Structure 1
Amino acid sequence: MTRFARLSRQIVFTLLGFLAALAFMLPVIWMFTSSLRPNAEIFAHFHPLSWHSIWPREWTLANISGLMGTGFGRSLLNSLIVTAITTVVGISMALLAGFALSVLTFPGQNLLFGFFVIGFSVPFDAVAVPLSATVRDLGLTNSYFGLSLAGLGNGFAIYLLRQFFAGIPKSLAEAARLDGASWLRVLWSVYLPISKGPVIAAGLTLFVFQWQAYLWPLLISTRPDMQVGPVALASLVSLAGTVDFSQMFAGALVLSIVPAGLMLWLQRYFVNSVARSGMTG
């Protein structure tokens, strides 16, 4: 194959890749532009399709300011608080569980690990209703702890850390134990410093799971002041019998910015840690 043919082939594949990426990005672009245009203009240019179907004739920030006037700002704050609790407490639990399942030796260890694997394979929606009944009986409705409870014991985060810890030579832990270190000290001083990538990946998993949660907060929060962002966004549909699509797109944009920014910033840790966890036993 000549140099010109290779160059032409590379250009063609690059253009095809760009067009495919653009096709996947069109809904995101439409959401972004629709959040910054008047409500009456959102569906005004679809018959026939035109450039203004994507690009607004008029730009405005009134949608975002009006959205905050509906109490969405409080719901966004609730989402931040609940997600922070879930991420911090959940990653602590996943670290302890992953360390115990990979480094310690006790009867039924493999059986217990199997339960964790089965646990994150079961759709959460299948167990959300009975779990919410238990939480209501405990009096934890309309509380930040109750809202974050379902995301604390994340089976995938535990699996991810367990697989990574299993690939670390146990001689490191044995040497630390010979020096008199406790198991918690071994985890903190030996395993944690070399586990930055998997810990960040597990934290991202917990963060995204809780940030986008809808069913569980809908079952647990009955007061408007305790609603989280996704629930508050869905509640805009029923206001006054009409739907302000511009505000809904603005809310979707606000809810998308935080996890998208984190994923773009930390994606290399997530991809690398998932790849490495799949190579260890």
Structure 2
Amino acid sequence: MITSSANAKVKQVMNLAKKAKARKLSGLFVAEGLRMFREIPRDRIDSVYVSESFIKDESHRKLVEGLPFETVADDVFSVMSDTQTPQGILALVRQYSYEVGDLQTVTSPAFLMILENIQDPGNLGTIIRAGEGAGITGIIMDDTTADIYNPKVIRSTMGSVCRVPFLYTSDLPGTLKNLKAQGVRLYAAHLEGRNNYEKEDYTVDTGFLIGNEGNGLTEKITAMADALVRIPMMGRVESLNAAVAASVLMFEAARQRRQ
């Protein structure tokens, strides 16, 4: 049993939770909590850590049966944990790797979320989770968007990060140009939108452009959209949170595709 917070494995977990560079170099990320642990495919688990009190429960012992796990003293696990109320289990998980082709299917039109400089981990996680619910085929992010393996993103996806293909690009304009050449129609929510969002046809190959929480999309990326659409507002509200706006658009596309 690990009883010291100075243990090298404890330090590794803490480093992976706090530093994107450490995650990138190791190819691992931290998934903490019972719900997330149950969502992780077993073949992607590198190692498991459980608290001393957690493993005393018979159902918890069955949960980690056959997996390489280590028991950690409760006080040390609290130091390792990235949450205020640790549930007593976390795993180091091997990261995913996708190509552009993985973000499209042969059985249905492309349905992509394209994110530029999304900074809030909660927003990013919510978009991924809502995206799975709406049936998106993938997510494309520029390299200034928050790290998808940030523990806060992982928690807010509630497991969707394991099932929704995604990739980062250092050349978002070039990536969009290639998508357009493949027939993907790009839409951006914008105050100067031509139509209300529900007036467009999203049953074809579609990509939604979502920009930074405070500044929205840059002019360069906005100019690459095939159409700007409005989300009409009542009252004195001018715009929506990035994750909420993304969800409105995604579920309208899902509604159209169901019909």
Which of 1 and 2 has higher RCO (CA within 8 Å, sep 6+)? 1
Normalised to the residue count of structure 1, the TM-score between the two structures is: 0.22
More helix by share: 1
Given the two structures, how large is their TM-score scaled by the length of structure 2? 0.24
- Higher share of residues assigned strand: 2
- Structure having the higher Rg: 1
